[in-house]
Amino acid sequence: MQTDEVVELWSIRTDSANSFHKLSQTLVAGGNVTDFELSSDGRAVFLADAEADERFELWSAPVDDSAAPVKLSGTLIAGGDVQFLRVAGDWAAYVADAAVAGRDELWSVPADGHEAPTRRSDTVPAGRDVSSFRFTPSGTRLVYRANLGPVDRWDLHTTTAFGITSHVQLTNRNPFAPNPYSVRGYTLSPDSQRVAFTVTPDANWTGAAMEQSLSDPQTTPEILLEVSGSDAAEYFLGYLPDSRGLHTDAILEVGDRREVFLLDEALFVDGFASGDRTAWSASVP
């Protein structure tokens, strides 16, 4: 609003069209705000290369402009950057190569910056990364995708969003399984109890969509769909608002006809442990 081709963060009162507040500080030459989210305690958490061009860090400021922005991401390693952010309640989480250049890890921090950021991901070996994450809708846990084992296998893990860390691997939990898979995409149930995900299997499998419990992970997740006629990228999952099922659109047969399917949780009566998918299969046309 003040400098051409410079992206800054502003707020405005909804009851006054003339009440503008600039929330981002004066940015270094070439600097921009690239993303932001709002916290429950009235702050805007934003990503900007404010102090050095192309070095992106995490900041927050009150939406009423009552205080100057504070840096949330702490001191980054030389060459380090914050990659992306999410906010739940009054906590922010982000992926950054904050400790080791080129090694992206998951961190969380209070939105007002009253505590230093803490690493939430499990130990990330050299050559590995955290590629994405989600807060559970409850805001108490994080689910993230990372290749902490074999470099070409991406698994899902969950950890606490704040406080004492508690790491649990959600996928490929059976060390004796002959067919490991790699997670492509995932979605969390609105009740924060389950995660559904699509996978890229090894050469012995067709593509599959699977579901795992977040509160009581089983050795083998439930298989929701086996996709015989398409690449694993050709189907997508989403939970119903009441968490009692999923919807998906997929090409389930050879060809190019895409259809929408409903996976009804009410038909799923055997729990996560048994692996009996008869009820699910009957619900898919």
To the nearest whole number, what is the mean pLDDT of the chain? Answer: 85
From CA 153, how far away is CA 139, in angstroms rounded? 27
Report which listed range, 19-28, 89-98, 191-200, 257-266, is most confident.
Answer: 89-98
**Greatest Cα pair distance in the chain:** 65
The model's pLDDT over 91-146, given as tens digits with 9 standing for 90+, comes to 999 999 999 999 999 999 999 999 999 999 999 999 999 999 999 999 999 999 99
> pTM for the complete prediction?
0.86
For residue 260, the cross-strand partners are: 249
**282: how many CB neighbours lie within 10 A of its CB?**
10
**48: how many CB neighbours lie within 10 A of its CB?**
26
Kindly state the tokens that stand for 53.
Answer: 């061009």
Residue 34 one-letter amino acid = T
Q: Which residues contact 78 (CB under 8 A, 6 or more apart)?
A: 101
The model's pLDDT over 62-80, given as tens digits with 9 standing for 90+, comes to 999 999 999 999 999 999 9
Query: What is the side-by-side order of every strand in the sheet holding 70-71?
Result: 33-38, 43-48, 57-62, 70-71
Give the pLDDT band (50/70/90) at residue 263: confident
Give the pLDDT band (50/70/90) at residue 222: confident
Task: Give the pLDDT mean for 213-228.
Answer: 84
Torsion (CA) 139, 140, 145, 151 in degrees, nearest 10? 150
